[in-house]
A and B are shown apart, each in its own frame.
Chain A
Amino acid sequence: MTARRTVAGRIAARLGTSLLVLWGAVTVAFAALHLTPGDVADVLIGDSTVTPEVRAQIVREYGLDRPVPVQYLTYLGRVLHGDLGRSYQLHESVGEAIGSQIGPSIQLALTAFALAATVSVTVATLTAKRRRWVRGLFSGLELVGVSVPSFWAGILLLTLFSFTLGLFPVTGGLALPAVALAVPVIAVLTQVLREGLEIALDEPFVLTARSRGMGDLAVRVRHALRHALLPTVTLAGWLVGVLFGGAVIVEQVFSRPGIGRLTLAAVAGKDLPVVMGVVLVSAALYVVVNILLDVLYVVIDPRLRSAS
């Protein structure tokens, strides 16, 4: 009963925060539009050319002839209706532009995440509380992992595995871009997981399990790992940021299609509607990922489950 209320309360709080994040993202986008030097209609048009009729239509749709608060509400209303505006350079709506590019990016991000999760869990489980040199070696590798810029890592991977060894396709392959994107995630995730594991391995229930004759690996996987996974949930926001922001660079290095390339082209061409749209979509993704992880949290956390 109490637990259920806790869960409900958590979900309510999470929804509240989610709405706030979305509203904030809309506000940030709106502010960006008005902070850009120049007439707002011209900023929306960017470096393309439109007929006076189209321009008049923009003024009407965004309410640009009305006071700023009204413009803000108009914009908020449009976004609530799922209308992210139109790119005058791409000759299509921002929704269409993002829709046609988001598939490859999500595929890349999910692959990188799956890779990072697998590698991190494996390495952390095998190295926690091991001999000093083992942990030292992997800590060193993790430090290098967080320090290597992903564009450099990407170029090195491409040169070594595609150009020189011919092991992976030069273009269109998913493995190398995913590795390049996953490197910093693996580095951080492994550290957090290992730390969680080391704390968990000192807990009484681990001793109990061991005293019952449970093997070392089984103790680690069945008991300690679940506890160690909990703190990683707080990493969700960071994770979305790294995977999505990193995709901008990785897509560029590997000439992959996706949101990153779309965004870069939009920044270079001053196509603000697209940049704003990408910011809004990424905020929405952040929210979705957080809610999913909350559900996962309930699944993982034995206390929450057993109580219900």
Chain B
Amino acid sequence: MTAVAIRPRRIPRAGVWAASLFVAVVALAALLPAVLAHGSPSDVDAVAALRPPGAAHLLGTDANGRDVLTRIVYGARPSVLAGLGATALAVAAGTVLGLLAALGGRVLDEVTMRLVDVLLALPGLLLALLVIAVVGPGTFNAILAIAAYTLPSYARLVRAQTLVIRRSGYVEAATSLGLTRGRIVLRHVLPNAFAPLLVVATIEVGTALVAAASLSFLGLGPRPPAPEWGAMLSQGRDYFSVAWWMAIFPGLAITLTVLSVTVVGRHLQRRVEGRLA
């Protein structure tokens, strides 16, 4: 959503450390949830429903008596995967479009870039909703929808980077050495465009995460009983006045994850740009 270039401010070392640590914890939860939580995220226990946070259930239980902490830990995988998946898809498609525009001749460049302009003109979430109206709701479709609207910024970035590299001279040099176009792209263009792309992608994972959670919150992503943060929060709304923990903690999980990813991303951005400068 934020296709906005902001020069990153230096973030205190302690902040970067804390953020990295949190990202690591979320990654661990996504990969090996059983290490962090005991019990199953889907074990229903009607008797233990709506227990407030306490010794037995650190973050309380939900309306089905399921442990909220366990569900948040297990929810890391679908939640993070949606953000990562959408970003990966958008980076891949954006790279292809960007390369096509930069290397495919004037007409192709115009067509591709105008298409990108149009996509940028449509409000992101609305574009995602249009995609979902076409393909229907669901986990994969939500990823597709988010990729559709984050893709333009990557396409622009790759195109710009490629043009810079193309003009830099060593591509001409490579061409004169007899390398084919495909080889040049693979060997020289992509690796040079990669670092800035990765940095932007890291920051944008946060955006994609929020977007994915938003779609689940609206009931258009993964469906319960899947422990997904946005869906958990949505379920928690009805119980807010008696069980605030059902909605507060999943929201906190999303916010802290996005915050940490953004902090780490901006830190990387500063370092990479410092190196490039």
Contact = CB atoms under 8 A, between A and B. Distances in A.
A149 B126 contact: no
Interface stretch (A80-88, A112-120, A246-254): A246-254
A25 to B, nearest CB: 6
User: Which residue, of A135, A147, A249, has the highest number of chain B Cβ atoms within 10 A?
Assistant: A147
A156 B233 CA distance: 12
A17 B121 CA distance: 10
Interface string A259-277: 0000110111010100110
A248 B217 CA distance: 11
B63 interface: no
Contacts of A237: 3, 120-121
A152 B258 CA distance: 13
Interface in B135-184: 137
Contacts of B1: 184, 238, 241-242, 245
Contacts of B3: 237-238
A274 to B, nearest CB: 9
Interface stretch (B25-33, B35-43, B52-60, B110-118): B110-118
A21 B118 CA distance: 5
Given A241-B1, A249-B217, A264-B218, A272 B133 contact: yes
User: Which residue, of A21, A27, A245, A268, has the highest number of chain B Cβ atoms within 10 A?
Assistant: A245
B255 A21 contact: no
A143 B255 contact: no
Contacts of B92: none
Please report whether the interface of chain B is mostly helix, strand, loop or mixed according to DSSP.
helix
B255 A147 contact: yes
A24 B118 contact: yes
B271 to A, nearest CB: 17
Contacts of B237: 155
A131 to B, nearest CB: 14
Contact of A151 (B130, B137, B214): B214
B191 interface: no
B189 to A, nearest CB: 27
Interface stretch (A2-10, A187-195, A208-216): A187-195
Interface in A129-154: 135-136, 139-140, 143-144, 146-152
Contacts, number: 156
B6 interface: yes
A159 B244 contact: yes
A163 interface: yes
Nearest to A191: B6
B262 interface: yes
Contacts of B126: 244-245, 248, 263, 278-279, 282
A149 B259 contact: no
B17 interface: no
A28 B129 contact: no
B4 A188 contact: yes
B220 interface: yes
B125 interface: yes
A35 interface: yes
A238 B121 contact: no
A246 B217 CA distance: 13
A225 interface: no
Contacts of A17: 117
Contacts of B4: 188, 192, 235, 238
B206 A147 contact: yes
A159 B123 CA distance: 28
B206 A279 contact: no
A139 B262 CA distance: 13
B122 A147 contact: no
Given A144-B255, A146-B262, A149-B213, A279 B127 contact: yes
B166 to A, nearest CB: 25
Contacts of B219: 268
B91 interface: no
Contacts of A272: 133-134
Nearest to A290: B121
Given A24-B114, A264-B218, A195 B7 contact: yes
Interface of B: 1-4, 6-7, 9, 11-12, 15, 114-115, 117-127, 129-134, 137, 206, 210, 213-214, 217-220, 230, 233, 237, 240-241, 244, 247-248, 251, 254-255, 258-259, 262-263
Interface of A: 17, 20-21, 24-25, 27-29, 32, 35-36, 135-136, 139-140, 143-144, 146-152, 155-156, 159, 163, 184, 188, 191-192, 195, 235, 237-238, 240-242, 244-246, 248-249, 252, 263-264, 266-268, 270, 272, 275-276, 278-279, 282-283, 286-287
28 contacts: A21-B118, A24-B115, A25-B118, A32-B134, A139-B11, A143-B262, A149-B255, A149-B258, A151-B213, A151-B251, A152-B247, A155-B247, A184-B1, A195-B6, A237-B3, A241-B124, A248-B218, A249-B214, A249-B218, A266-B133, A267-B129, A267-B133, A268-B219, A278-B126, A279-B130, A282-B123, A283-B121, A286-B121
Given A20-B114, A149-B217, 10 more contacts: A17-B117, A28-B119, A29-B130, A32-B133, A156-B251, A195-B6, A241-B124, A241-B125, A286-B123, A287-B121
